[in-house]
Structure 1
Amino acid sequence: MRDGLSQEPSIEPQIELTRENLIREQDGDSKSIIVETNNSKTTKNSNLHNVIIHPRLKPAPFKIRDAYPTDLPKPTEICTVNDLKFYQNEELPVNRRGFKYKLCKPNPIFTSNYYSTTDIEPYEVSLSWFDRSTGSYLSQDCKALTSNQGWRSVRSNVGIREGIYYFEFKILKSDDYSHVRIGLGRREASIEAPVGFDGYGYGIRDVGGELVFISRRKNVLIEEGFKTGDVIGFEVHLPSLSQQKKEIEEFVNLKKSEIPDHHTTKKRKTNTKNKKFNNIEDNEKFNEFNNILRDQIPTKSKGVLYYDQFEYTKTKMMDHLLNPITVFGEKAIIEMDDKTKNIPIISNSKIVLYKNGVKQNETIENLYSFLPTNLEEIEEINLEPNLKQQSNPNYKNNDDNTLGYYPMLSTFQNGAVSLNAGPEFEYPPENTQIKPLSDRYNEHVIEEWYWDIIDEVEAQYLDSFD
């Protein structure tokens, strides 16, 4: 490796770190490295070119020392389960309260955004140090999970948006006192509860092998359940994104036709100082070309650079699906209406299950859609958008490229389970056309790299009006 080049397998292009292509070092060390730009000259130039310029949070130039690899906080060994050591890393932030995190680093060829996405070891599909509940412990290779308290969950670092993928869960410890649940979960699925707790995930119990959805036990998916040593294979089928978006468009048009004639559109007021409004017409224009919008702000904590992003949060309708009760003063009324009719599904989606290589008879079909719907909230017919970012007052029903279904693992009282994304499986699928989930990592790296470049090009264009 040449001097001055990072040895880290990075998402952004590697370039030589010389003083000529670095920004001059500044004094001080701010935690939030952003500055807001908006002046009369920008407004005048944008009007001249018929371009709408919104004030943006512009990152401050990085420091020379930020351009060199920084040691991440080291995990601490906590416990051992069946001869496998598990670790905790309390220095890394975890996704919660409407925000999520990922690593970033300076990119000297970016003259407007200054930073681009990178990743944490082991640079493959694994369990995420960021996307887990507190009190959960991971193995050194980030493939296995355990906890010594109540239910704790973790998602993988890469999700599935389309295509057919296969992966395995190996049960490392499950008995009368220690339990495991496995399944798929969306971004909104709670990691402070087992998978299947809400409508954002589909979980399978070790005891009985039943499907758990919105905290209700459903039909048996794995005959006689599973225990220590068993291997459960997941074959996930999702149609192409173009087909999913076509179905979402049809769903939105259908729901708009059901809106009562006497209903008037309500504009949602944001918390910005300008008192601007978000409405359906604005969102339709904004998402006309299937925009991917990543509101990510570089921040520094304990010497490590992160992107701080808005996370998707649960909607009122999905919350009522879990708890169908309305409280009026001291009275609680059970809601009897069918809320599932206003939740879009992914047609022809399914999860085929295997136990120790044996295909199971039951499947999970017609998963709930993870894509946004450009709808307004209408309480009288229990209608609202499919997605929400509670911490983002300017959310426009857009996709940030993290939407999808993620392998999700949950453990209880020293239960332990591992994820095998391939390409080597204990019980490989017979159909060789099915991709191992491990293939998604390189695709994910390319996607992040691609959108980093798109964001930089857009930022350079907007900055040209300054």
Structure 2
Amino acid sequence: MRAEGSSPPPPDPVSTPEPSNSTTLDSLAPLTPASVPAASRKRKRPPIKGSSPAPSDPASNGGGNANSTDLLATSRADLSSRPILKIMRGPTFIPITEGSEWFKTEQVAVNRVGYRYVPAGINPPGHPTPCRTIESNPTSFRISWEDRSPFLKVSKDGLSVGGSKGFRSARCNAPIREGKWYMEVKILHGGGDQIGDDSLREGSHVRLGWGRREAPLNGPVGLDGYSYGYRDKTGEKVTLSRPRPYGRPFGTGDIIGMYISLPPRRPPNKKDPLDPAHLKRERIPIDLKGQEVFEILEYPQCKEMVALMDYSGKTTSSVSVPSSSKKTANGKIPERGGPAPTGAKPATPNLRPLPILADSRIAFFVNGESQGVAFQDIYDYIPLRQSDARKSNSRKRSAREGVKEHRENPFDDGTLGYYPFISLFNDASIRLNPGPDFDFPPPADIDALLDKQAHPNGVDTTNTSIPCPKPAPEDTKMETDVDNTDISVHADDCDPSNITIQVAPASPPAAEPQQTWQPACERYPQFMREEWAFDDVETEEAREELAKAAAADKVDEDKRKQREKRRLQAEARRVADARRRTEEKVRKAGEAKAARLGGSDQERPMTPPAPYAAFAPERNQPSPSPLRHSTAFEADGSAEYEASPAPTHVSYDEPKGGQSGYTSENPNDNDMDIDQDIEALIASDTPT
């Protein structure tokens, strides 16, 4: 059974070796043998805190099925193949029982401890950011599908919510950040009523109030300092788990009005880049349960707020405990928690001050009857300034984990504020009425009513009595206005017959006071406009970052080309220097040869000798035999042939050396030796 307008989830993704780590938009890569961790004897480390929660978590409905946490594709083409949505697909409503008005939801990312989710939509191709914020049906002020305990049941319109067992809570889908806002909540079952034949001893109970993002959903409103509640059983107000007398109890059928007034939001200090009031997002787009969502690291509870919960009377200061390996003078190990050493100064915790929202107030109405101001000057929802130690740890973690991992956000991300907070115990149920039509409309100026209730004994200066006039000079006239009536009393005597009454014309009726508060239904469209404006800001920032990255890439490419050009020039110079050195050596060898042969050769132009033409750049031929001067063949009948000293068939029987030109007295032998020396010298210096 699938909700109308929803689409089926994508096919089952291929499981990875570690499905417990959700991956980001930038981290999808095919699994290679190098990326698969081999068997190692090293101690396994616990998972990084900033990683995504495990899909195998029972609340996540993961474990390798279609609802498990998957990756969004990294390439633009893969993202473009997914549908571009303006409204979220889910949720899918599954009735609790056949024909029931209550449903549980599937195909929706429900917040879990430390993480929350916001619907995301794929941007069209060419957009500088891959995803944007989108809405989910119905697009109105209601209970949030994601920001609630998974144990609560809901109606399809998101205005009714019911419990099961224990205290479970839900927040609405838009925060209150400033201004005056009002809404109503009808108690369907509460005040301790039993539902049907239920044998639960406590019955059903409701707590209503306002809470911040840090307030846990698996507990009642007022559990800590992050929320402020109103109890149905006793009518008490509660925060920090400390109930105080406030109003009258309420139960089934009652209609509770919830009013909150917050001062204008503090603008960030532009000169202080670490001011927590600056707007900044830290979110990662992922595919969870078949829907693109932004996964966000939830704001953690600060130690200052946790310290407020410690009302046991124990001191928060402590002294350093000595190491158990050291012994005292008597040889005994000192006891832990024992008396502090003499002169030791107690270490006081470094707690930051908790700012408040001046002139803020929370009030409740029961069936149109104001119960007065419940809470005044509540705590500010802007996070505390990040300490130096936490900043250094954040930098180290980001350097180790990289930009793909979650990082704690010390700034306002636009979702901070006070949300309507509904807590249900056992089978309690309620229905929201965000307006604009209320069963018990409050006065136009709720603050004026609350101020009057706060000061019921104010001085009444109105006096409509008419004293009897005393004798006075004639023609003396006393006038007083009572209900627009002009009474003139003449001083002749006190005879009533002498009193003339003149009725003045009636003044126009006073204009109705202007309404100073807004119904909660008007907050949702405002909040979505804020979110989309934030998306536009992020788009411009991403476009600027892309332009900077492109400019940096161009500079790097130019530098690479310059380096390549210089390398080629250096290589050409090296080759030219090697060639020049070779030619210089050949020239010097030729000069040396000419010096040995005498001055006649010095007058000839120095050119590489024929046997060494292989070293000249324009020739690459084998050198002729050095015996060329004595073995050249001459034709018969020539003069050179007739005078040749070479042996012939006539002189074969003559003694050796008689007619031969190869004697040691031949002057050409010295020339051959010089040629061999030059050839050996050049061969040793020629680069290979």
What TM-score results when the alignment is normalised by the length of structure 1?
A: 0.71
Q: Is 1:145 matched with 2:161?
A: yes
CA distance, structure 1, for counterparts of residue 533 and residue 73 of structure 2: 20
Shift of 1:291: 3.0
Shift of 1:79: 5.6
1:123 — aligned with what?
Answer: 139
Shift of 1:320: 2.2
Letter aligned with residue 87 of structure 1: F
Shift of 1:145: 1.7
Q: Is 1:114 matched with 2:130?
A: yes
The structure whose residues are more often helix, as a share, is 2
CA distance, structure 1, for counterparts of residue 386 and residue 24 of structure 2: 35
Higher relative contact order (CA 8 A, sep 6+): 1
Q: Is 1:457 matched with 2:540?
A: yes
Other structure's SS at 1:67 match: coil
Other structure's SS at 1:319 match: helix
Residues 361 and 378, structure 2, Cα contact 8 Å, conserved in 1: yes
Letter aligned with residue 546 of structure 2: D
2:273 — aligned with what?
Answer: 285
Other structure's SS at 2:118 match: strand
Shift of 1:169: 1.3
2:209 — aligned with what?
Answer: 183
Shift of 1:35: 1.6
Other structure's SS at 1:458 match: helix
C-alpha offsets along residues 44-85 of structure 1, whole Å, 9 cap, x if unaligned? Answer: xxxxxxxxxxxxx996531323325774241211269xx972
Residues 189 and 428, structure 2, Cα contact 8 Å, conserved in 1: yes
CA distance, structure 1, for counterparts of residue 436 and residue 150 of structure 2: 30
Q: 1:77 to 1:103 in 2, by over 3 A?
A: same
1:169 aligned to which of 185, 188, 198: 185
Shift of 1:392: 8.2
Q: Is 1:201 matched with 2:242?
A: no
Other structure's SS at 2:417 match: coil
Other structure's SS at 2:144 match: strand
CA distance, structure 2, for counterparts of residue 395 and residue 140 of structure 1: 34
Letter aligned with residue 235 of structure 1: Y
CA distance, structure 1, for counterparts of residue 142 and residue 125 of structure 2: 30
Following superposition of structure 1 onto structure 2, how do residues 334-349 of structure 1 map, counting pairs within 5 Å?
A: 342-349=353-360
Residues 234 and 354, structure 1, Cα contact 8 Å, conserved in 2: yes
2:619 — aligned with what?
Answer: none
Judge which range, 189-198 or 394-403, deviates more.
394-403
2:659 — aligned with what?
Answer: none
C-alpha offsets along residues 213-247 of structure 1, whole Å, 9 cap, x if unaligned? Answer: 11111122x22x100011111121101013xx58x
Shift of 1:446: 0.6
For this pair of structures, how many residues does the alignment match?
368
Other structure's SS at 1:307 match: strand
Residues 163 and 428, structure 2, Cα contact 8 Å, conserved in 1: yes
Following superposition of structure 1 onto structure 2, how do residues 67-466 of structure 1 map, counting pairs within 5 Å?
A: 67=84, 71-78=89-96, 85-108=101-124, 111-176=127-192, 177-220=203-246, 222-223=247-248, 225-242=249-266, 284-287=272-275, 290-324=277-311, 342-374=353-385, 376=387, 394-395=407-408, 397-431=410-444, 432-464=515-547, 465-466=549-550
Letter aligned with residue 137 of structure 2: E
1:388 — aligned with what?
Answer: none
1:66 aligned to which of 83, 96, 119: 83
Letter aligned with residue 208 of structure 1: T
Other structure's SS at 2:206 match: strand
Shift of 1:363: 2.9
Query: Please, which runs of 5 or more residues in structure 2 have no aligned partner?
Result: 6-12, 16-21, 29-71, 193-202, 322-334, 340-345, 391-403, 445-514, 551-688
Other structure's SS at 2:294 match: strand
Residues 283 and 406, structure 2, Cα contact 8 Å, conserved in 1: no
The structure whose residues are more often strand, as a share, is 1
CA distance, structure 2, for counterparts of residue 411 and residue 65 of structure 1: 39
What TM-score results when the alignment is normalised by the length of structure 2?
A: 0.49
Letter aligned with residue 115 of structure 2: F
Residues 100 and 308, structure 1, Cα contact 8 Å, conserved in 2: yes
Other structure's SS at 1:35 match: coil
CA distance, structure 2, for counterparts of residue 320 and residue 135 of structure 1: 30
Shift of 1:331: 6.2
Shift of 1:134: 2.4
CA distance, structure 2, for counterparts of residue 311 and residue 150 of structure 1: 23
1:43 — aligned with what?
Answer: none
CA distance, structure 2, for counterparts of residue 346 and residue 447 of structure 1: 22
CA distance, structure 2, for counterparts of residue 71 and residue 360 of structure 1: 42
CA distance, structure 1, for counterparts of residue 163 and residue 253 of structure 2: 18
Judge which range, 340-349 or 362-371, deviates more.
340-349
Other structure's SS at 2:245 match: strand
CA distance, structure 2, for counterparts of residue 134 and residue 67 of structure 1: 28
Q: 1:443 to 1:71 in 2, by over 3 A?
A: closer
Structure 1 outlier segments of 4+, above 3 Å: 28-33, 57-60, 68-71, 323-333, 337-341, 391-396
CA distance, structure 2, for counterparts of residue 332 and residue 88 of structure 1: 54
Q: 1:378 to 1:104 in 2, by over 3 A?
A: closer
CA distance, structure 2, for counterparts of residue 451 and residue 99 of structure 1: 21
CA distance, structure 2, for counterparts of residue 331 and residue 238 of structure 1: 45
Shift of 1:285: 2.3
CA distance, structure 1, for counterparts of residue 286 and residue 230 of structure 2: 38
Other structure's SS at 1:85 match: coil
Shift of 1:146: 1.3
C-alpha offsets along residues 407-458 of structure 1, whole Å, 9 cap, x if unaligned? Answer: 0001111011122111121112221231101111111111111011110110
CA distance, structure 1, for counterparts of residue 411 and residue 426 of structure 2: 39
Q: 1:294 to 1:59 in 2, by over 3 A?
A: farther
Other structure's SS at 1:285 match: coil
C-alpha offsets along residues 8-55 of structure 1, whole Å, 9 cap, x if unaligned? Answer: 9xxxxxxxxxxxxxxxxxxx8997452279xxxxxxxxxxxxxxxxxx
Q: 1:218 to 1:60 in 2, by over 3 A?
A: farther
Q: 1:233 to 1:175 in 2, by over 3 A?
A: closer
Judge which range, 316-325 or 369-378, deviates more.
369-378
RMSD of aligned residue pairs (Cα, Å)? 3.6
Identity across matched positions, percent:
31
CA distance, structure 1, for counterparts of residue 146 and residue 386 of structure 2: 31
Other structure's SS at 1:124 match: coil
1:45 — aligned with what?
Answer: none
